[in-house]
Amino acid sequence: MLVHTPAHSQMAGTLSYTSEHALPPGTLVRVPLGQRELLGVVWEQQPISDDTPPMDPSKLRPVAAVLDALAPLSVHWRTLIHFAASYYQRSAGEVALAALPPQLRDISSLQLARKLKKKAKSQLKAQAAPATDATPPQDIPELVALTPEQTRAIGQFDDNPGPFLLFGATGSGKTEVFMRCAADVLASSDSSQVLVMVPEINLTPQLEERFKARFCAQYGLEAVVSMHSGLTPAQRLASWLAAHSGNARIVLGTRMAVFASMPHLALIVVDEEHDPSYKSQDGARYSARDLAVYRGKLEGAKVLLGSATPSLESWYHSRPAAEGGRYMRLEMPSRVGANAILPLVRRVDMNHQPKGSVISPPLLDAIGQRITRGEQSMVFLNRRGYAPVLSCADCDWKSNCPHCSAFRVFHKIDRTLRCHHCGFTERVPRACPDCGSLDIAPVGRGTERLEEQLALLLSSMSRPDGSAVRIARIDADTTKLKGSLESQLAQVHSGEVDVLVGTQMIAKGHDFRRITLVAAINPDGALFSSDFRSPERLFGLLMQAAGRAGRDASNTSRSEMWVQTFHPTHPLYETLKQHDYPAFAASQLVERQQAGMPPFSFQALVRADARTQEAAQAFLNSASSACDGLAELAPWREHITLYPAVPMSIQRVANVERAQMLLESPSRAALQRFLNAWQPTLHAMRSQPQCKGLLRWAIDVDPLLI
């Protein structure tokens, strides 16, 4: 039996219970554990070794209830869970139970049976109801004409097994290819299912709307469902049940949807496959993109990864098969429409602009020209709040968070200092807390301050109809309320907004038809980061942001991407100007190979949280030192490089000190075997005197943030 137990717990394996009736693997049950009653999954019996002590039947507790109204979870689903738990070094129970809807953990077998019965009745009633004029057969939308590039990509998809990497420019019609491929798969069988994954919740509504418009008229109103954490528990359960029963033919979701129970899965689409949001940073730190590829191979389903800026790992895997490539690359380099061309990239050398200027005069003039023509502009700054720090000019006090090694961000709209790591919030002080000076001022800028400054700079301008210029801001602060993001996007699409200000939330995935100018403010910070993936992330983000401009082919004015930088001759900006992702990827892969970085090596991080930084690092260094004397690690030790423990980039969060240790190997298999054999040592180290104060530890395989 699997129940939810954390990886660092000594109860991380399967647990044994008694049952009056034989239960097939995959059956959902409720079982007692201590004073609680938990949801569990019946699992295959584990092999018993010779040194395992005999089990006392009198000490086994009985299964409390069986959720027999549900069909058992399939062998493919259980294999996926087992692989994910093994590869990412977590307990299978933790992965399995986290993949199930939360409401399923609290519902009784009787309540579940009633819910399913009610659902079945409503479906029969809908099927028996006579057709109405509201949903006639002709409501199926007329298909748009495909470009030659789209036709070629779909033909290659139909004729080959995959996996596929659809490398298409922004605006090249990748979503239409996804829908055509999905339609072919659904038409091939009466029961086949399609999983479509997006990186963020805010991209789900517009995609769901398009898929429902295309498929619900043919397959029914419940053929398309969503799965993401933004749904209510009842909605998540309803979507999961629809997928598990096979009634949902298309499931749209974020990374958690990769574990959806879909018994007839035939196609997995991973949109914006490069996005780091597909890699979980909490709990089981899995990569949904990589698990999608594994699941496709496991279940015989085709896998289609799509991006205008693929991850370097996927790009490397899609090299020609003769060179060792594992994916088939489908290319669509052109935008849809005769007049639809990629935006012209303009670099503004901020060294030659007025000192302290936020928006350079040439960029301000370009935005003004768009406003007078009735076009829209988008200004992108990947930092929310008014200013990243509040500072005293007299004593150099700064708005540090008392619980984290980070600054509290100044939010002017509610006059608060807010830590974006632990959530600690205070009102802005009237005077400096240290010296009492009234001269405290914001340093730097976020989207809130940028919005304010743009409003001031554009106050003398007017729209073509004579009304005032309208500026909107979309970031995590303005989209907290349910439905706020949808209403704000609707205003942008309808043309009510002239200038859109926001973070990376608006820089990818959205189809803004009226935007003809995109500007990136101060992107230089990522050029000199210690993280070797920063150039890749910056280039992808800028190209995705540029792709929001000029998507309407009927607009004859040339769209533009403006980049304000102090390093205009940097090679990254040179390749961005040419929209030449292959050249950028080639140069980055050469650097990665020379430095022995992924995808030419494989990495894992061991992270430790403790009450003191000394205890966190002592745990990691002690575990590292113990490796050399263990015979079970000897076969793999020579293939592994263990680096010394260091504090994390933000070493203290919510009064918890954090440290990490990097492991690197040229062999994925050697790294996995080493980690598996090392687990008992990590468990044993918790009881060492020098590790007193250790709270928890975790392994992160294939980490994105180092």
Closest to 140 in 3D by CA, of 214, 249, 210, 207: 214
Domain with CATH 3.30.70.360 in the chain: 602-701
pLDDT, tens only, 504-541: 877 776 777 788 899 999 888 888 888 899 999 999 99
Does residue 502 have a pLDDT over 50?
A: yes
* Pairing assessment for the beta strands 515-521 and 646-653 based on DSSP bridges: unpaired
- Residue 203 contacts residue 73 (beta carbons within 8 Å): no
d(C-alpha 274, C-alpha 311), whole Å: 4
Q: Which of 42-56, 144-158, 291-305, 632-646 has the lowest mean pLDDT?
A: 42-56
Token duo for residue 684: 């044993």
Buried b (16+ CB within 10 A) or exposed e, 397-427: bebebebbbbbbbbbeeeebbbbbbbeeeee
Sequential DSSP letters for 281-293: -SSS--BHHHHHH
Judge whether residue 569 has pLDDT over 60. yes
pLDDT tens-digit map of 640-677: 999 999 999 999 999 999 999 999 999 999 999 999 99
Measure the CA–CA gap between 270 and 198, rounded to whole angstroms. 6
Q: Which residues pair with 226 in a beta bridge?
A: 252
Please identify which residue in the block is written with the tokens 């598990």: 244
CA distances from 480 to 58, 92, 207, 230, 235 (A): 52, 33, 20, 11, 19
pLDDT at 136 over 50: no
Mean of pLDDT values over 484-501: 86
> CA 451 to CA 472: how far, in whole Å?
8
pLDDT recorded at residue 383? 87
Name the token pair of 295.
């699941």
Q: What is the pLDDT of residue 53?
A: 64
CA distance 255 to 288: 5
CATH number of 1-48+55-126: 3.40.1440.60
Per-residue pLDDT of 245-281, as tens digits, reads 999 999 999 999 999 999 999 999 999 999 999 999 8
pLDDT of residue 135: 43
Q: What helix, strand, coil percent values describe the chain, rounded to 5? A: 35, 20, 40
**Pairing, β 36-41 against β 28-33:** antiparallel
Residue 132 has a pLDDT of 46
Residue 139: predicted pLDDT: 56
DSSP assigned state of 598:
T
Cα(533)–Cα(704) distance, rounded to whole angstroms?
A: 8
Query: Who wins on pLDDT, 418 or 484?
Result: 418
DSSP letter at 31 equals E
Average pLDDT, rounded, for the chain: 88
216-247: per-residue pLDDT in tens?
A: 988 888 899 999 988 888 899 999 999 999 99
Residue 26 has pLDDT above 70, yes or no: yes
| Residues of each domain in the chain carrying CATH 3.40.50.300 | 136-332, 344-384+447-594
Q: Can you tell me the distance from the alpha carbon of 49 to that of 43, in angstroms, rounded to the nearest whole number?
A: 18
pLDDT of residue 11: 59
DSSP state for residue 512 in the 8-state scheme: -
Amino acid at 659: A
Binding site as annotated, residues for Zn(2+): 392, 395, 401, 404, 419, 422, 432, 435
List of residues 6+ apart from 147 with CB closer than 8 A: 172, 173, 332, 334, 336
- Residue 295 CA to its chain's centroid (Å): 18
Residue type, 699: I
Between these two residues, 503 and 629, which has the higher pLDDT value? 503
Instruction: Round to whole Å and give the CA distance between 318 and 312.
Output: 10
Question: Do 565 and 523 form a contact (C-beta atoms < 8 A)?
Answer: yes
Q: Are 92 and 52 in contact (CB under 8 A)?
A: no
What values do phi and psi take at 237, rounded to 5?
-65, -45
Q: Which residue has the tokens 């954090």?
A: 658
CATH architecture of 344-384+447-594: 3-Layer(aba) Sandwich (3.40)
| pLDDT value for 12 | 60
pLDDT score at 490: 84
- For the chain, where do the domains classified as CATH 3.40.1440.60 start and end? 1-48+55-126
What are the start-end ranges of the H helices in 439-483?
447-457
The label of the residue with tokens 């809807």 reads: 101
CATH, domain range 602-701: 3.30.70.360
- Return the pLDDT at 470: 93
End-to-end CA distance of the chain: 35
Query: What confidence score (pLDDT) does residue 389 get?
Result: 93
Question: Which H or E element spans position 576?
Answer: helix 571-577
**Encoding tokens for residue 527?**
């050029």
Which CATH topology does 136-332 take?
Rossmann fold (3.40.50)
pLDDT at 171: 82
Q: Which residues contact 596 (CB under 8 A, 6 or more apart)?
A: 664, 666
| pLDDT > 50? residue 134 | no
Q: Which of 665, 647, 666 shows the shortest CA–CA distance to 657?
A: 647
The number of CA neighbours under 13 Å toward the Cβ of 103 is: 15
Q: Would the pLDDT of 133 be above 90?
A: no
Q: Contact 657/651 with Cβ under 8 angstroms?
A: yes
Give binding residues as ranges.
392, 395, 401, 404, 419, 422, 432, 435
The whole-number pLDDT of residue 477 equals: 84
Please give the pLDDT value at position 229: 86
